[in-house]
Amino acid sequence: METNLEYNKYDEIFTSILEKEKSILGFLSSIFNFLARRTDFYYVHDGFHTDMGFPPGVAEELVIKVLRKCDPKNWSLDKDEINNEIMCSTVAQEVEVIAQEDEQEMENVPEISKENAESNSAVKSDIKDNRSSFPEDYEPPLIVTQKNSESYNGAIRENYTWSQTIMDIDVTIKLPPDIKSSKDLKVTLNPGDICVACHNGDIILKDKLPFKIKTIDSFWSLSENRLLIHLEKVQERWWNKLLNKEEEIDLSKIDCSRPLNELPEDSIAKVRELQWNQEQKLKGLPTSDEIRNIEILKKAWNAEGSPFRGTEFNPNILKK
């Protein structure tokens, strides 16, 4: 592998970042934050719309491969050989998008079926008794998403644009050039309607809203000859239009995802478990369901009436 020459041209840029961040962690955070904000690196496609992002797990696999590629111990390897390994791994991951369904937990513990035995035989037999199926202190990697477009989940209209999350709406309105300060405007935000007018009475924007807003939590400000209005929704729902007279947007085409910290606690726990299971699969380690199954098997191993009672626990014999 060519070690330095081909990447020397970036040294000045990276050195500058490293000096400002003052740590390797800060440096790497800057790199991945850039990928999150300016590329589709973190976008996980569903196997149908493959023009953006990667299948599940491929982005992480690429990072691991590049990490190994840049290890000084591997500099003696052929560059094409390493790049080939990265590309082949990516293709393999794409094939695995059609994933196998997770096998169900055993319903009857004393009765060890062949199907469950085959499932559990794949689990490493050296799992410790005190190992929990899912670590409570697990924190998934922080993924920063870019959602600051003025028309994100909204629309661009002739004199204004609007964007939304499930909880609020941001409106950007173009103002006449003679509007210099807030004194030149009169903005009225009511629960069911909105009105923006010049101080002389000329209407810039006025209409009823399709749903109610919280006026006490809504506000507006001026920025570079633009009026910025923030509206808090009364109900958590997606709006198909900002104003009643406006053409509706197709809600089936917007990004309906929500930040993890906005979900109920039980949903957050489930999402984190799914993320942890995905990481376990990529590492070739058992998932939480597989760990739970093996723990159930251990309890049943020495249970009354078990043919394995008194023998050393060994799930591998179940596949015979």
- pLDDT one-digit tens code per residue, 137-157: 555 544 444 444 788 899 999
Count Cα atoms within 13 angstroms, Cβ side, for 233: 16
With a CB cutoff of 8 Å and minimum separation 6, the contacts of 310 are 302
Q: What is the pLDDT of residue 191?
A: 95
Q: How far apart are CA 190 and CA 131, in angstroms?
A: 56
Hey, how many other C-beta atoms are within 10 angstroms of the C-beta on 13? Answer: 9
Is residue 284, in this structure, part of any structural domain at all? yes
Section 259-268 average pLDDT: 66
Hey, how many other C-beta atoms are within 10 angstroms of the C-beta on 230? Answer: 15
Section 185-203 average pLDDT: 93
Is residue 147, in this structure, part of any structural domain at all? no
Q: How far apart are CA 89 and CA 93, in angstroms?
A: 6
3-state secondary structure of 307: coil
Instruction: Assess whether 130 and 274 both reside in one domain.
Output: yes
pLDDT exceeds cutoff 90 at 5: no
Closest CA to 229 of 181, 164, 178: 164
Is residue 192, in this structure, part of any structural domain at all? yes
- pLDDT one-digit tens code per residue, 69-95: 887 777 665 444 444 444 444 433 443
**What is the total count of domains within the chain?**
3
Asked if residue 288 lies in contact with residue 276, where contact means CB atoms within 8 angstroms, the answer is: yes
pLDDT exceeds cutoff 70 at 246: yes
> In the listed set 211, 236, 254, which residue is the last one of a domain according to the structure?
254
Full domain range(s) for residue 122: 117-140+264-319
Q: What is the pLDDT of residue 96?
A: 39
Instruction: Assess whether 307 and 248 both reside in one domain.
Output: no
Q: What is the pLDDT of residue 106?
A: 40
Q: What is the pLDDT of residue 85?
A: 45
Is residue 227, in this structure, part of any structural domain at all? yes
Is residue 27, in this structure, part of any structural domain at all? yes
In this structure, of 18-27, 226-235, 254-263, 302-311, the range with the lowest mean pLDDT score is: 254-263
Backbone angles phi, psi at 297, to 5 degrees: -60, -40
Instruction: Assess whether 165 and 234 both reside in one domain.
Output: yes
Mean pLDDT value across the chain: 74
Instruction: Assess whether 250 and 270 both reside in one domain.
Output: no
Instruction: Assess whether 168 and 226 both reside in one domain.
Output: yes
